[in-house]
A and B are shown apart, each in its own frame.
Chain A
Amino acid sequence: MIEWDQVTFWYHGQPEPVLADITLSIGEGELVLFAGQTGAGKSTLLGTVNGLVPHFTGGHLDGVVSVAGIPTHSRPPREFAHLVGVVGQDPLAGFVTDTVEEELAYGMEQLGVSPQVMRRRVEETLDLLGIAELRRRALRTLSGGQQQRVAVGSVLTMHPKVLVLDEPTSALDPTAAEDVLATLARLVHDLGTTVLMAEHRMERVVPFADRVVYVPGDGTVVDGVPEQVLRTMPVVPPIVELGRLARWDPLPLSVRDARRAATPLRADLGPAPRRTQPLTGPPVLSGSGVVVRYGPAVAVRGVDLDLRAGEVLAMMGRNGSGKSSLLWALQGSGPRQGGTVRVGGVDPKQLSSAKARELVGLVPQTASDLLYLETVSGECAAADAESGAEPGACRALLDRLAPGIDPARHPRDLSEGQRLALVLAVQLSAAPRVMLLDEPTRGLDYPAKAALGAMIAALTAEGRSVVVATHDVEFVATIADRVVVLAEGEIVSDGPTAEVLGGSPAFATQVAKILGAEWLTVADVAAALPQGTR
């Protein structure tokens, strides 16, 4: 169905080619998973399928990419619309119309399909994706998962032969991601379309992937069946890591397989390691009875929170539970209609924003909102000026957090993880004692998350406290000392990580699902294995 024949691609002005001499072939009806770090070339490779690369993005393509026998260089991407459907990361940015129904019909309108056929296909797709009750809703008002499903549907109505999904769940929270991936799984079984998917949450997709293509980042690809490729891939989901650690053969790819293979391992394991002791000492930040309202809607309802020096607190809860509002209220820049917040005896809301950020720093959800200059060094210089720090402080911080960033680069050209590091350095240049991070893991892949974890560990080593609002359970299990769960503006549970995550199936990590509630991460398992088998 899709053939890459000695394909090389590079952007004008870049010495290194993004794709170097790739030869690949994908048959009809296969589901292929593309894995690799962000920026390694997965998106470019997927973009060559319908011709967006090079017609839309520019650059130079050598070799031939052909879909159903038609080479992509012969026609613009719009002539491939009936063959290839593309779904991107941000569904809202790709919507052309207002309502769900019209969005589903849009592609068919461009293809000139007759109205009766359009009606029929729209109804079928609504049923297939389970969005029938949303048909008249405005697209802006849907949740992330619903939006992504509509985006998939809008492409499916054209009945393409190939479906290309470029990180469809990376901007979604876990529940929405589950939604979308389950839908896709069903689709693959029912429809038999050729599906090419690039996805970080590999563990959900791998069970029904026919092949995995790993893009290391040097221009080549490694292609093979999942067991083979995952065995040697550097960054893998915890299941595979555990499998490698326990030397399971064949490598289990899903939780159920892993559970079956885990019985002997459980026998070998010693007692579960104790996690860090809860910290004692006077609280660095204490909020009591915090209330945040937006008109008639109450976002945070009388929350009490204490934070100690050197502590990492994870705030979890579904969208709309009040996490962001609480963080903004604690920092002092957000509305707070009731309750008190004290940082070192001072209420940050009473201070000017320049003074408040020396007490509590916040990295918002869209970190790039804070960046407005043209170079990394410019941002750092501005940050030093704003914080009254000595010149070079921010630069030094950045080098510690994310080494190897070229100071002359434009901030928008950095990867997600690097941009996050830059914003973190900018906020840290004011030397606050408390650092708040609002959803930093959104859009990050495993290596970037590991780097973020290391950054946070460095901060706590200096004695600062960190609060992270996130959905990512694996991340929380790795770095957090304490977990607070919010629902509808109130705290539902508050306790050490092992307690909160261990008890509930919704917050179970993969390792916990395999081995039981007292094992949260692979590192725990590795620590408990007898010396010889490590």
Chain B
Amino acid sequence: MTRFAKLLVLTAVTAAVAAVSPWPALAVDHTKGQPGFCATGTGVTVVVDFQQLGGTTIVRCFPQGTRGTGLDALKGAGFQVAGVARWGESFICRVENRPSAVEELPIKGREHYRESCVDTPPGAGYWSYWHAGNNCPWTYSQWGVKNRDFTQGGFEGWSFSLNATADSNPVPRIAPVRPGTSGQPCVAVVEPPPDSDDPNAKQPSPPVPAAPVPDGRGAAPVPTSTAGAPVPVPTGASAPTSAAALTSDPAGRVLPPPVPRSGSAAPQTADPAQNVAYTGGENAADVNQVVKEQSGASDYAPWVAGAAVVLLAAATWLTARRRRRARDA
């Protein structure tokens, strides 16, 4: 069989397969995770706060009892995410298709910026990654989303930071308090900061929960200046984690904790009463549908493209044959 006949057959087969296989994907995959907070201490609650992007905050539960990374939690809760082309899912640039490819962000210095998810998003407009134990304050994560395990019974937070500095990244506006557990002490988690520049370094074995601290003070953020690491550089001074070292005076009273020097973490646990409105994502629009509408994609265009390819291939073969005959004549 000649080259072009083979090409024809191949194209026809591909087109036939295309007709048969649907591969739909819904936004907020309802087969994964559950809407709302996690009811028990198993699993982790994922909070997505769109902040200035606009849109209702979504809270969903990922009920897996075994260990998993932050990315597993986010995807396992049913959220549709997109990583940058350069680093893959190590750096999340879109959650539930926000910010979408056609959305213009008013970034300082680059008005009309559009996130194309090709390379690391700018520090003035990116999804910041937070975590918290139950009843603990939100802590800005020093590890990448694939490099740390989530806390069982804790919270994973995603908050879009627009035009914020390293010190002022917006905290998710949902208090990390499971319903029915407010007032309980914070089971703080010690997460030693990364000690090298390797973006693939994983957090050491699951963090040891320290003794409960009344006011809950997470570790102050430590600057992670890894070149190329997915986390943009906050410039806080380094502060040692000290939650584990609790001093008590001889009388047995617990000494008040040292005053935090800097950091974006709020020293107080947020009050659940101040949560913004949120949903469990039940009515979220189909991301792919939205993307399709935004881009003006048509269902028929791929068919037409395939048909054009087949037609042109056939025409090429016929023309080549005709010209070869004319030349040999």
**A touches B (Cβ under 8 A):** no
